[in-house]
Homo-oligomer: A and B are copies of this chain.
Amino acid sequence: MTGGLARFSLNQQTVRQWSLPELVAGCAAAGVRHVGLWREPVRRHGASAAARLVRDAGLSVSSLCRGGFLTAADATGRAAALADNRAAIEEAAELGTRTLVLVAGGLPPGSRDLAGARERVADALAELCPRAAGCGVRLAIEALHPMYASDRCVVTTLRQALDLAERFPADQAGVVIDTYHLWWDDTVAGQLRRAGEGGRIAAFQLADWVTPLPEGALLGRGQLGDGCVDLRWFRRRVDAAGYRGPVEAEIFSPRLWARDGAGALAEVLDRYRRFVLDIP
């Protein structure tokens, strides 16, 4: 009945033209069973009302995006980041997801010290991990593409994300596997094995790589199958590493946002069947 969609999850940003109620109704109508949510729209709706809406529709929340931004060098910025992440942990728990995605944060203004910023992320994780575990939430460290290293995420490879996660128990810290960010790295197959062996894969997200990149490089993610990422290879490797959780389509694309939400989702599902699942 699900047409291969049992594990498919729709990340909310992929169809951000939809309100939360539209997202829930649209997913239910399309046979989608999981959604990845973002904090801002959840907060606009109210976290507990959002949780009820999703639950009543029979959906599960595969992940909440996102905490993180843990690289501030000053005490005030650091305290604010920790408080914000504690709130995100509580929101994740309220939504019933075990997975809070963390984006590390970039370099503070004027800084050239990548190694120092990475250590501050580790320090913050040491404070946040036990708190998250107490709420039944696992922190999922996401490596972003190196083109975001200065302004968004000093964690640029899956190896670095695992180096960070492995400082903490596996039920407290995991990693996100995102094809858009990792596809170029020829060490990724070995790191996926490592992640699987350690039980560290907390989330698996899909987007394709297309060029030219738009100004700012943020909103140019490709519809599945439009680019050069071997998505099926990734899905097989992540499966082989033992991951059995949801597979989230997370595509920041103005082209998709300009469309009717149901039409955009239908295209994503068609591409998921053709470029991600095994050919029947």
Question: CB-CB < 8 A to A209: which residues of B?
Answer: 150
Question: CB-CB < 8 A to A118: which residues of B?
Answer: 186
Among A115, A146, A156, the most chain B Cβ lie within 10 Å of the Cβ of A146
Main secondary structure on chain A at its contact with chain B? loop
Are the CB atoms of A112 and B150 closer together than 8 Å? Answer: no
A window 80-119: CB within 8 A of B: 107, 111-115, 118
A window 140-198: CB within 8 A of B: 145-147, 149-151, 156, 160, 183-186
Stoichiometry, as copies per complex, reads 2
In the bound complex, what is the Cα–Cα distance between A212 and B160 (angstroms)? 24
Is A217 an interface residue when CB atoms closer than 8 A count as contact?
yes
Question: CB-CB < 8 A to A229: which residues of B?
Answer: 112
Are the CB atoms of A217 and B228 closer together than 8 Å? Answer: no
Question: CB-CB < 8 A to A113: which residues of B?
Answer: 230
In the bound complex, what is the Cα–Cα distance between A275 and B217 (angstroms)? 27
A window 184-235: CB within 8 A of B: 184-186, 209, 211-217, 227-230, 233
A window 218-271: CB within 8 A of B: 227-230, 233
Contact partner of A228 among B150, B214, B228, CB < 8 A? Answer: B150
Contact partner of A213 among B114, B147, B185, B228, CB < 8 A? Answer: B147
In the bound complex, what is the Cα–Cα distance between A227 and B214 (angstroms)? 20
Are the CB atoms of B227 and A217 closer together than 8 Å? Answer: no
Contact partner of A156 among B184, B214, B215, B216, CB < 8 A? Answer: B184
Question: CB-CB < 8 A to A146: which residues of B?
Answer: 145-147, 184-185
| A212 and chain B: residue at smallest CB distance | B216
In the bound complex, what is the Cα–Cα distance between A213 and B215 (angstroms)? 6
Question: CB-CB < 8 A to A216: which residues of B?
Answer: 211-213
Are the CB atoms of A186 and B160 closer together than 8 Å? Answer: yes
Are the CB atoms of B112 and A230 closer together than 8 Å? Answer: yes
Convert A115-147 into 0s and 1s, putting 1 for each residue whose CB lies closer than 8 angstroms to a CB of B. 100100000000000000000000000000111
In the bound complex, what is the Cα–Cα distance between A211 and B107 (angstroms)? 12
| A150 and chain B: residue at smallest CB distance | B228
Question: CB-CB < 8 A to A211: which residues of B?
Answer: 150-151, 216
Q: Other than the known A112-B229, A145-B147, what 8 A-B pairs have Cβ atoms closer than 8 Å? A: A113-B230, A149-B184, A150-B209, A150-B228, A156-B184, A212-B215, A213-B217, A214-B215
28 contacts between A and B (CB under 8 A): A111-B228, A112-B228, A112-B233, A114-B183, A114-B184, A115-B186, A118-B186, A145-B146, A145-B147, A146-B146, A146-B147, A147-B147, A147-B213, A147-B217, A149-B183, A150-B209, A150-B211, A150-B227, A150-B228, A151-B212, A156-B184, A156-B185, A211-B216, A212-B217, A213-B215, A213-B217, A214-B215, A215-B215
